[in-house]
Amino acid sequence: MTNPVNSTYVPKRVMVIVAHPDDIEFGCAGTIARWVRQGAEACYVLCTSGDVGILDPNITREQAAAIREPEQIAAAKHIGVNNVVFLQEPDGMLEPTMALRKRLVREIRRFQPDTLITGNPQTLWAGDGYINHPDHRAAATAAIDAVFPAAGMPTLFKELEAEGLTAHKTYKVYVEAWDNSATTFVNITDTIDLKIEALKFHKSQMQDWDPAPFIRERAAEAAKGKEMAYAEAYRVITFDDALPKEEPQPQSTSAEQVQAAPEGA
């Protein structure tokens, strides 16, 4: 285990895979906003359209999806992300099946991210008042199983070649970590306002609730003891054999660590 570092890595192409509309805005939107401002291109993949997430028995699942997909598109656009894919799997019933893995492999081979962000499939609960939604675990499991090793194996799902899609290896996987497993903290001090604004586009979910205090409190907690006011925290897995070619070596260590290197090293 490395010491937690303040990441200055910037991907060229980052894909986020989640279960529901608003998962990204609650999760990694501050990081995405930061990276987009530094030149990254981002793609969101939503496994479901949140079609059972409006708790009104008079609103059908079809109606709910028709409300929530535009909310997600607007939230993405607000931070500069125009590429949003809805797989439209059934909300509340998501399972990490081989069929879902293949659908995600297709998206990974299509977009060719160097970096993938998803949730933590091992998070069953947090604190004393939260059980992680099974769809979140399913989406995260399917995403991790799709990105490694499936997407990078040339003869697995070879039929996708008919769509012009061939094997693609992803360099880094960022797993959202709101516990002590975090190894990397992305400074979102300059983008937390954008994150909060993006979250507010999910009007069907926010209603009268102002998410700002909750988001700020959590981001401040993640940043505690580091040289930043607000952070998003990740466990980062790096595949050195998938380092993008013809790209400068990404810098993934903090300034302190560079200074601490022995002279002449």
Which stretches of the chain bind Zn ion, using CB under 5 A? 20, 23
- The smaller minimum CB distance to Zn ion, of residues 4 and 134, is found at 134
How far is 148 from 114, CA to CA, in rounded Å?
Answer: 13
Give least dist CB 129 to Zn ion, A.
Answer: 16
Cβ-proximal residue to Zn ion, closest one: 20
Give least dist CB 23 to Zn ion, A.
Answer: 4
How far is 172 from 243, CA to CA, in rounded Å?
Answer: 9
**Burial degree of 72 (CB within 10 A; 0-12, 13-18, 19+):** buried
- The smaller minimum CB distance to Zn ion, of residues 134 and 244, is found at 134
List of E strands, the chain: 5-6, 13-18, 41-48, 83-89, 115-118, 125-126, 130-131, 172-176, 184-187, 231-238
Give least dist CB 74 to Zn ion, A.
Answer: 17
How far is 169 from 180, CA to CA, in rounded Å?
Answer: 28
Give least dist CB 50 to Zn ion, A.
Answer: 7
- The smaller minimum CB distance to Zn ion, of residues 23 and 176, is found at 23
**Mutual orientation of helices 29-37 and 192-200 as an angle, nearest 10°?**
120
Give least dist CB 153 to Zn ion, A.
Answer: 30
